[in-house]
Amino acid sequence: MPFKQVTIIGTGLIGGSLGLALKKRHLAGRIIGCDHAPVLERAQDCGAIEGGSIYPAEAISGSDLVVLATPVIRILDLIDRLGPAISAKTLVTDVGSTKLEIVQHATKSFAKNSEQRFLAGHPMAGKEQAGVEFADADLFEGAAWLFTPLPGQNVHAGLCGEFIHCAEKIGAKTAVVDAADHDRFCAWISHLPQMISTALATALVDEFGPDAPILDIGGRALREMTRISGSPYSMWRDIAITNRKNLSDVLLKLEQRLAHIRENLDSKQLADEFEKAHQLRKKPARRKEENL
């Protein structure tokens, strides 16, 4: 059992799912939660944690692993407050959706031996519903879990390597990427799709009203494209703030592409757009055929 006691600060969907996953695979001894009292009660009821405290300093006492599973700006605050005080024998990791600012804060806050004490991570898993009520022990099965090293850090050494092994044991596919590259990459593959879904849902409400049976009429395609529009603003606010430049850049490029399509609805260039788009779906198919 790699970790005798784990504290999860933020027992919502991701934190609760991690608690369930660690318990299901017997990868942790006792799991402690830290959140608002009603959330802790629900997390304990569903089996994600075995006890908890509303105070971070109390919740982390005696733990050899601390997981920061809150929105990003709260993670930054916790790093700044807990870093100088937490035991040097305790590994702290996070699940934040942006990484550059987290890496910068951790490097400064944990100071000496920061590369052994903090592991920046981002599981690419989730649902459109928020809350521990939707936690799932198998949420990370088949999902990518990206780790972004601090300067000079070997993420596969010591407790960092132990946690990465745990992530793989609960079904995640792990990879190591630079923090700046992570934020640019995720702006395209995660943050932009969310903004597209939100914009489409908002436009539909403006056009037809909130009570129109649009999803029933539109069918599967519309339901899939608007599914994540139900994601909580509290999480996406922090992502937009901490990855503003990258997100602004990709939104502008999409706006330009949409304008190009609008201006060529009756020209051959629309067919060219479809042909180029089809290339994205062909590549995975070719790789699959090569592996057969």
Tokens 């010591």 belong to residue: 158
| Cα–Cα distance for residue pair 259/238, rounded to 1 Å | 28
Does this model's pTM top 0.85? yes
pLDDT in tens, 145-188: 999 999 999 999 999 999 999 999 999 999 999 999 999 999 99
| Cα–Cα distance for residue pair 190/212, rounded to 1 Å | 28
State mean pLDDT over 274-286: 78
State residue 275's pLDDT score: 94
Choosing from 155, 178, 201, the residue where a domain stops is: 178
State residue 284's pLDDT score: 57
Choosing from 149, 178, 207, the residue where a domain stops is: 178
State residue 216's pLDDT score: 78
Q: What does R_g of the chain's alpha carbons equal in angstroms?
A: 21
pLDDT over threshold 80, residue 286: no
pLDDT over threshold 50, residue 292: no
Q: Which residue from 205, 200, 236 is spatially nearest to 221, judged by alpha carbons? A: 200
Residues 139 and 219 in one domain: no
pLDDT over threshold 60, residue 224: yes
State residue 288's pLDDT score: 40
pLDDT over threshold 50, residue 285: no
Tokens 């001894």 belong to residue: 29
Residues 112 and 239 in one domain: no
State residue 87's pLDDT score: 86
Q: Which domain holds residue 216?
A: 182-291
pLDDT over threshold 90, residue 117: yes
Residues 207 and 71 in one domain: no
pLDDT band at 211 (very low <50, low <70, confident <90, very high): confident
Least confident of 55-59, 84-88, 239-243: 84-88
Residues 174 and 231 in one domain: no
State residue 212's pLDDT score: 82
CATH number at residue 261: 1.10.3660.10
Of 85 and 288, the one with more pLDDT: 85
State residue 1's pLDDT score: 65
pLDDT in tens, 99-113: 999 999 999 999 888
> Do 65 and 93 touch, CB atoms closer than 8 A?
yes
Residues 99 and 209 in one domain: no
User: Checking DSSP bridges between strand 3-9 and strand 28-34, what pairing results, if any?
Assistant: parallel
Note the maximum CA span of the chain: 67
